[in-house]
Amino acid sequence: MGIMGSLRNRAGLVIFVIGLAIVAFLLGDIIQSGTPFWAKKQNQVGNVNGEGIDYNLFNQQVEQMSMMYQQQMGGGETPQLKNFAIQQVWNQFISKTLIDEEIDKIGLTVGKQEFNDLITGPNPSPQILQNFTNPQTGQFDRNFLNQIINEAKNGGSEVAGQWETLLESIRSQRLTEKYSNLLKNAVYVTALEVEDEYTAKNKLANFKYLLLDYSSVKDSEIKLTDSDYKEYYNKHKSSFKNTEETRAVEYVLFDASPSARDTAATLAAIQNLKTELAASTNDSLFATINSDTKHPVTYVRKGQVSPALDSVIFNVPAGTTVGPFYSDGAYEIAKVIATKFSPDSVKASHILLNIAAEGGLEKAKAKADSIKGLIQKGDNFAALAVEFSQDPGSKANGGDLGTFPRGQMVGPFEEAAFGGKPGDVVVVNSQFGIHIIRIEKQVGNSKIVKAAIVDKVINAGKETTDAAFAKANEFFSEVTAANFGEFASQKSVRLNKAERVQAMDNTLNGEDAPRELFRWIFEADQNQISDKIYETDHNFIVAKVANISPKGIQPLEHVKNDIEQGVRNLVKARMLKEKMNNALNGASSIDQAAQKIGKSAIAVENVVLANPVIPGLALESTVVGTVFGLQPKQPSKAIEGAQGVYAVQVDNFVNPKELVGSERQAQQKQMLTSKEQRAWGAIFQALQNNADIDDNRIRFY
């Protein structure tokens, strides 16, 4: 990640650092030569068809991906964001490995002339166009491209390595395009398919149905047998496939949330601080010392602070102290130091100098002033950024930082960008180094407030946490695997169950849980109790592994409890089908059959095959499908549906107008596009289903 990565929370064009670094990582030889085989395996996050992925390199990409998401979303890293980054890098590795294998199998290559054209030809790769467009003109800058090529030819520099990464990415993208085009050319739509699709969406059916609902048979009237379970299981076997190992966990939570006493104590403390803040003569120092969150004392725009503060601080004069207000588990107070009007957003570019690399602060400032002078004389800012800037995240884009609102830059940088005027070139110092900033444009003009914000998080006190831990420890010391549920009942604590826990989860039934608990869950044996009491922000947890469901088709005994309702409906369907067929026997219409069982047939209109919903009832694909296979005025046999057992009789069909000329072509084109999109996903899913994927991430995360 570039040094300016922490400077702003936006997803800029990070040409060489994030997206392409991942590609280079995936394309590279990720297993070091000379490393013993067993050592390689030990340090592998996983492998796909024997292609291993080293933890250190994998984790580097995870950190970069996580940082990118932090920039996009704002704020720091959370367990959920980190887990999402882990999953994204893992998915990219699987995707790249599987597609590369297929490309290699069929012998796809990129020729030398073809590759050169992608770089320097009249119609270069989109990646070249994207990364070498002048931010000021919006036009492709071929001179900038040639400058980078010449610099990369010298070798040994950072740019040379970054350029090679880009070339590999372009080559990879071209091969993937070729593979995608092969798949696309294999997909077609026949005239008969067009007709069937059109009919399914536009042919209307008007019919009557008779329903014997499953709920009409009491559960107490049926007895389920092993053969019933086997029959249902065999009918739905494909739906019981685990794409990865899952585990069922029973657990007990011991609440350690702040008590009313803790809340009252925090409120009293913040009220005392309000009095002191109002009298303070050094508001910044006071906020730094006393605030839990350490908000920077700087100008903020509307929407940057909590809703409670936001509704007040823009409406009071300077010198006013407001609060306390409750916000997201904390009490806040604020002192308004000053107010003024300022641009809403700024478009700017910068060149960053590393103070240490330049030989100290004075030399760095002197160099910055020299570069500023060149810019003011008319030298090309983008070229100077490429030559001198130490921020790889923006230098490749000519120093362009795009447009940003307040709150996304460090303080000195922000004040310079928002405090100057368009066209200004200013030099400022921040914790990242010396910045030469050019203000391109300022947009809007709104009131901003400089405020010293102090907050106190409401935490559970020692008395609260000690009491919760004592209960957890008593339970943990006495419970056994055999009496886990019964003992929880005796202690009047709720027994929770999480049925399908996955290795990379962060929550149990929506409640945050530590990653170390999940590592234990997937290392433990079935019916084993947790090795210790695990702790979250607000709970202590004691857990037990209740069941282990391996990857693949689950055996009947593992899903027996889950399918009980389905089995009940299967048995009820047998009974109701017999009843329905008896009523239909000898009946010339569905109304006659309805009379036999004391019910009325219900009429529905304008149902289409493409949307098999019986109005006001349920999605019934089998029932509606049967309707479109019947002749009018003839009652069907009994049909087993989702809601119960049906019989149907068609009154009439309303056929759509015939497809002609351009309408048929448009329908065919639409279907082809949809089919091409589905085909790519289906082929990749098939590759994944047939791949030997070993996921060891749980060992490292």
3 or 138, greater pLDDT: 138
Mean pLDDT across the stretch 244-258? 95
CA distances, 467 to each of 31, 405, 479 (Å): 51, 47, 18
Percent of the chain with pLDDT over 70: 92
> Residue 426 pLDDT more than 70?
yes
User: pLDDT at position 71, please?
Assistant: 67
User: pLDDT at position 357, please?
Assistant: 81
User: pLDDT at position 135, please?
Assistant: 66
pLDDT, one tens digit per residue, over 599-640 is 999 999 999 999 999 998 989 999 999 999 999 999 999 999
User: Cα separation of 385 and 352, whole Å?
Assistant: 8
The answer to whether 580 and 636 have CB atoms below 8 angstroms apart is: no
Strand-pair partners of 456: 331
Specify the 3-state DSSP secondary structure of 436: strand
Here the tokens at position 240 are 């019981």
The answer to whether 553 and 233 have CB atoms below 8 angstroms apart is: no
Least Cα distance to 437 among 490, 394, 478 occurs for 394
User: pLDDT at position 75, please?
Assistant: 65
Burial of residue 424 (CB within 10 Å: 0-12, 13-18, 19+) is middle
- Work out the end-to-end distance of the chain between its first and last CA atoms, rounded to an integer number of angstroms: 21
Amino acid at site 618: A
User: Cα separation of 487 and 478, whole Å?
Assistant: 9
Q: Write the DSSP string, 657-680.
A: PPP-HHHHHHHHHHHHHHHHHHHH
> Residue 266 pLDDT more than 60?
yes
Here the tokens at position 386 are 């490429």
Mean pLDDT across the stretch 388-407? 85
User: pLDDT at position 19, please?
Assistant: 42
> What is the residue whose two structure tokens read 């010198």?
319
Mean pLDDT across the stretch 84-103? 90
Specify the 3-state DSSP secondary structure of 311: coil
Least Cα distance to 600 among 207, 209, 206, 205 occurs for 209
- CA quadruple 403, 406, 409, 415: dihedral sign: positive
The answer to whether 649 and 584 have CB atoms below 8 angstroms apart is: no
Provide the 10 A C-beta neighbour count for residue 529. 16
Mean pLDDT across the stretch 20-40? 40
User: pLDDT at position 10, please?
Assistant: 31
The answer to whether 496 and 508 have CB atoms below 8 angstroms apart is: yes
User: Cα separation of 272 and 278, whole Å?
Assistant: 10
Instruction: Name the pLDDT band for 510 (thresholds 50, 70, 90).
Output: confident
User: pLDDT at position 34, please?
Assistant: 39
User: pLDDT at position 683, please?
Assistant: 86
Give the contacts of 649 (CB within 8 A, at least 6 positions apart).
207, 208, 209, 589, 590, 601, 630, 633, 634, 635, 636
Instruction: Name the pLDDT band for 6 (thresholds 50, 70, 90).
Output: very low
Mean pLDDT across the stretch 7-13? 32
Is it true that the peptide bond before 412 is cis, omega within 30 degrees of 0? no
pLDDT, one tens digit per residue, over 160-218 is 877 888 898 899 889 988 998 888 888 999 999 999 999 999 999 999 999 999 999 99
The answer to whether 162 and 15 have CB atoms below 8 angstroms apart is: yes
Average pLDDT along the chain: 88
Here the tokens at position 663 are 């309408």
> Residue 33 pLDDT more than 60?
no
> Residue 154 pLDDT more than 80?
no
Specify the 3-state DSSP secondary structure of 321: strand
Strand-pair partners of 300: 449
Instruction: Name the pLDDT band for 157 (thresholds 50, 70, 90).
Output: low
- CA quadruple 503, 505, 509, 513: dihedral sign: positive
563 or 64, greater pLDDT: 563
Provide the 10 A C-beta neighbour count for residue 374. 15
Least Cα distance to 398 among 347, 442, 360 occurs for 347
> Residue 83 pLDDT more than 80?
yes
Here the tokens at position 379 are 């030298």
User: Cα separation of 632 and 620, whole Å?
Assistant: 20
Q: Name the DSSP class of 507.
A: E
The answer to whether 346 and 441 have CB atoms below 8 angstroms apart is: yes
User: Cα separation of 124 and 698, whole Å?
Assistant: 42
pLDDT, one tens digit per residue, over 463-500 is 999 999 999 999 999 999 999 999 999 999 999 999 89
Provide the 10 A C-beta neighbour count for residue 647. 26
User: Cα separation of 286 and 283, whole Å?
Assistant: 5
Specify the 3-state DSSP secondary structure of 124: coil
Give the contacts of 151 (CB within 8 A, at least 6 positions apart).
157, 159, 160, 163
User: pLDDT at position 358, please?
Assistant: 85
Strand order in the sheet with 321-327: 298-300, 446-457, 330-342, 321-327
User: pLDDT at position 9, please?
Assistant: 33
What are the chain's domains? 3-184+693-699 (1.10.4030), 204-241+562-654 (3.10.50), 244-255+462-550 (3.10.50), 260-342 (no CATH), 345-443 (3.10.50.40)
User: Cα separation of 288 and 264, whole Å?
Assistant: 23
pLDDT, one tens digit per residue, over 204-231 is 999 999 999 999 999 999 999 999 999 9
The answer to whether 442 and 421 have CB atoms below 8 angstroms apart is: yes
Q: What is this structure's pTM?
A: 0.64
Instruction: Name the pLDDT band for 14 (thresholds 50, 70, 90).
Output: very low
CA distances, 541 to each of 459, 475, 699 (Å): 18, 10, 21
User: pLDDT at position 23, please?
Assistant: 42
Percent of the chain with pLDDT over 90: 61
Instruction: Name the pLDDT band for 155 (thresholds 50, 70, 90).
Output: low
User: pLDDT at position 661, please?
Assistant: 84
> Residue 39 pLDDT more than 50?
no
> Residue 125 pLDDT more than 60?
yes
Instruction: Name the pLDDT band for 38 (thresholds 50, 70, 90).
Output: very low
Provide the 10 A C-beta neighbour count for residue 543. 26
User: pLDDT at position 449, please?
Assistant: 94
Here the tokens at position 362 are 């004075």
